[in-house]
Amino acid sequence: MTDEQTQESPQPPDTRRRRPGRMVAGGLALVLLLGTAYAAGDRFAGGPATAHTPGHEASDEPKLDTEDGHDHGAHEGTEGDPAVYDPGATPGPQFRARDATLAPAPPGREHRITLTVRESVREVAPGVRQRTWTYNDMLPGPTLRGRVGDRFVVTLVNEGSTGHSVDFHASQVAPNAQMRSIEPGERLTYTFTAQRAGAFMYHCGSAPAVHHIGNGMFGAIIIDPPHLAPVDREFVLVQSELALGPQDGLARLGKLYRAEYDAVAFNGYAGQYRFAPLTATTGARTRIWVVDAGPSAPTSFHVVGTVFDTVYKEGAYVLRPDATSGGAQSLDLAPAQGGFVEFAFPAPGEYPMLTHRFADATRGAGGLFRVAP
């Protein structure tokens, strides 16, 4: 299967409201991903940029009623105390870190998975609670894994309060058929064969996608490269941004449109591996898969005190051990890119891991490896 690609002549923006779930003619148009404000060329909410007129103050907030037929203003909420990320805070006694260990690809060549959309309030940083939209009550969603040629049969069930969808970047399918939004109470079967290896993202693509991703609807799907070398330990880290809304509320759409995020997380909780370090053994071969889920910020993944001898990025090896003895210090990824690094810890100790985009490391995109002899 391959993506269907069509090219159409430019058309004037269509800002008519549509019933929920209705597709724009011509397929999954950009408006369905970004919302009315972007498709119409608006500057967030104020329309095209114009000279300032006294008495007419421009708004920096985007329109929240979008072409998916839902009023995201009603979902977002503005009441309550603002949630504030404190890099010096520590989690309470109920804190449990997400297990970053990556299991091998399951046996068999067909994988049947159910992804159920649910909404829940959860802690995303010490003392910070947000209402999240999730797949299977997990933030990020469950990590899926397979091999080139494996068939995935995914059932999407919507138990949320608005339309949702799923877009597997590892798939090659017609978006208007399998990536379409479904309403609360509906289900959809998404079937594809993984034809290319890589560390891929999956996410909700319902409009505006930046809001659905920003509220937690993303995950990783790993398709092993052929002849992938064995290692002693494998981990997976999915980086994402938190544009905090009110305590117990949804992410702020205006912040997401402007990429004004408050915190950055590995596996859904800012700074969690500072409080619950990952563990490894001296000399053991270690592979770390990294996926940048965004929605907007890049990353430069680095482990202090190590040098990577293997780097795999976007479906290709950038570096492999050979006679040149080359090394790499980071894995750079744009949003929706993924890959892995391999190395061995040289001695016992504590090794910081972080994005070398230091502004984001200080906002939660960091942690520790605790290495035993």
Residue 242: strand pairing partners: 263
pLDDT digits 0-9 by tens, 16-63: 333 333 333 333 333 344 443 333 333 323 333 333 333 333 334 545
- Asked if 82 contacts 252 with a C-beta cutoff of 8 angstroms, the reply is no
How far apart are the C-alpha atoms of 224 and 230, rounded to whole Å?
Answer: 11
According to DSSP, residue 260 is labeled -
How far apart are the C-alpha atoms of 366 and 309, rounded to whole Å?
Answer: 21
- Asked if 146 contacts 152 with a C-beta cutoff of 8 angstroms, the reply is yes
The one-letter amino acid code at 288 reads I
| Stated pTM of the model | 0.84
What is the structure's pLDDT at 77? Answer: 53
**Neighbouring residues of 161: CB distance < 8 A, sequence distance ≥ 6:** 75, 119, 184
- Asked if 259 contacts 296 with a C-beta cutoff of 8 angstroms, the reply is yes
What is the structure's pLDDT at 7? Answer: 35
pLDDT digits 0-9 by tens, 256-266: 999 999 999 99
What is the structure's pLDDT at 78? Answer: 57
Spell out, as residue ranges, where the chain has pLDDT lower than 70.
Answer: 1-79
Phi, psi of 89 (to 5 degrees): -75, 155
The dihedral over CA atoms of 46, 50, 54, 56, expressed in degrees to the nearest 10, equals -20
- Count other C-beta atoms under 10 Å from residue 92's C-beta: 9
**Neighbouring residues of 325: CB distance < 8 A, sequence distance ≥ 6:** none
- Asked if 268 contacts 216 with a C-beta cutoff of 8 angstroms, the reply is yes
According to DSSP, residue 329 is labeled S
Length of the chain: 373
According to DSSP, residue 272 is labeled H
What is the structure's pLDDT at 75? Answer: 55
What is the structure's pLDDT at 76? Answer: 57
Nearest residue to 70 via CA among 223, 181, 222, 148: 181
- Asked if 213 contacts 203 with a C-beta cutoff of 8 angstroms, the reply is yes
